[in-house]
Amino acid sequence: MGARVEQQKKMAIDLNERATQYKIMAREVETNKGIYQSLLERTKEIESMVGVSSSNIHIIDKAMLPIMPFKPNVKLNLLLAIVVGVMGGLGLAFFLEYFTDTITNPDEISDRFHIPILGVAPLSKTNGFPVEHTFVRDPGAPLSEAMRSTKMSIQLSGIASQASSFVLTSTKPSEGKTTMAANLALAFAGAGERVILVDADMRKPRLHKFFQDPGDTSSPGLSKFLSGVSSKGLICQNGISNLCFIPAGPVPPNPVELLASDRFALLVQTLTRRFDRVIIDGPPYLGFADALVISRIMGGVVLVSSMGETTRDALLHFKKSVLNSQGKILGCIINKVNLGKRFGYQSYYKYYSYYSYGSTKDNKKKTKELAE
């Protein structure tokens, strides 16, 4: 009996322990169930969130592959380049015009300085003869045509006494006084006038090279005549009808004094009476008093100006000085005009060469023969 009680007790204790174990395991099951449940919920939550955007950014338009480059914008750049180029060019032109003191537009001489333009002589190409002989060697050349119209302008430029004796001068050296004087003298002589051409540039005489035979020493020249060394045979005959020539003679130490002498004034008076036209090739104006001294005595002053060489200051100074010394400016010959450049006078030359009788090959040959 006792054994059975003991056995029953043992069974009860065992049962108790098992119940305890069961409770522990049941609690563990409960806990694991909870964990499992919450994990399951979380998984479902995550699964449901897949595919849902996490921000407020939406695709409105899909990016397409461009058919042409976005940059550079060639049309815009081209337009900008043209506008900037034109503006820059204009600005630069105004800048240069403002800061360059040389006159490049012949109209400025007439409009701003009120000196009439008597003629526009083109820059001649060398044709196997000196440009100083162009009028007789190539009568159809643009330079010869220019000389004809310049001759007319001079004839009409002032009262007859002023235009009948004139001196050619320029503000600077090498602007073409000698070339213009030679061709003008030939043009006046060719028109039947009795012309005397005087080389009064006693500092740099050059006319004798074209109007005096190299071996001809018959004329003492202007310098010797004015200094009283010799007074005979001053005028040279050079075979060109109607044209006589007085060379400058040896270069004297005191050209201004010689030109300012009464002897020179008397010579000019005599020549004016004996000839229809007295043309003096003078020295340049700047730096020397010679040109002013001559312009007092002569009827008129013709300025020779090369575009791009004559400065505004020099021209203003020249005009004032000539007027102060009672000289009369007949006008200005624009020389060495480059027909390739835009001076506004090319159109005249186009017509010159179109109408000129020396423009065809045959005519050129005939006129050359006539001239020789």
Ligand X SMILES: Nc1ncnc2c1ncn2[C@@H]1O[C@H](COP(=O)(O)OP(=O)(O)OP(=O)(O)O)[C@@H](O)[C@H]1O
- Which one, 134 or 164, has the nearer CB to ligand X? 134
Residue 335 binds which entry of ligand X, Mg ion, none, CB below 5-8 Å type-dependent: ligand X
Residue 144 binding result from Mg ion, ligand X, none, given CB thresholds of 5 to 8 Å by partner type: none
| x-or-dash string of contact with ligand X, 125-144, rule CB under 6 A | ------x-----------x-
Residues 237-276 vs ligand X: string with x where CB under 6 A?
Answer: ----------------------------------------
> Judged by CB, which is closer to Mg ion: 177, or 224?
177
Q: Which is nearer to ligand X, 188 or 210 (CB)?
A: 210
Provide CB contacts within 8 A for 188, sequence distance 6+.
Answer: 151, 195, 242, 276, 277, 279
Q: Buried b vs exposed e over 261-291: b needs ≥16 C-beta within 10 Å?
A: beebeebbeebbeebbbbbbbbbbbbebbbb
Q: Which amino acid would we find at residue 303?
A: L
Angle at 74 between CA 72 and CA 76, to 5 degrees: 100
Stretch that binds Mg ion, among 98-106, 114-122, 204-212, 327-335 (CB under 5 A): 204-212
Q: What is the C-alpha to C-alpha distance for residues 57 and 7, in angstroms, rounded to an integer?
A: 77
Among 174, 231, 254, 360, binds ligand X (CB under 6 A): 174
Q: Pick from 151, 143, 164, 177: which is nearest to 248 by CA?
A: 177
CB of 287 to ligand X, least distance (A): 11
| 311 in Cβ contact with 320 (< 8 Å) | no
Q: Helices H, strands E: what count in the chain?
A: 15, 8
Interface residue with ligand X, options 109, 121, 278, 294 (CB under 6 A): 121
Q: Does 178 bind Mg ion (CB under 5 A)?
A: yes
Nearer to Mg ion, 177 or 277 (CB): 177
DSSP of 36-66: HHHHHHHHHHHHHHTTS-SSS----S-----
| Dihedral sign for Cα atoms in the order 297, 242, 230, 215 | positive
Q: Does 371 bind ligand X (CB under 6 A)?
A: no
Window contacting ligand X (CB under 6 A); options: 107-115, 177-185, 213-221, 361-369: 177-185
Which one of ligand X, Mg ion, none interacts with residue 295, CB within 5 to 8 A by kind? Answer: none
Q: Does 333 bind ligand X (CB under 6 A)?
A: no
DSSP state of 308: T
Is there binding between residue 177 and ligand X (CB under 6 A)? yes
Whether the CA torsion 110, 111, 113, 114 is positive or negative: it is positive
Whether 200 and 290 have beta carbons less than 8 Å apart is answered as yes
Interaction site with ligand X (CB under 6 A) = 121, 123-124, 131, 143, 170, 173-179, 201, 204, 206, 284, 335-336
Interaction site with Mg ion (CB under 5 A) = 177-178, 201, 206
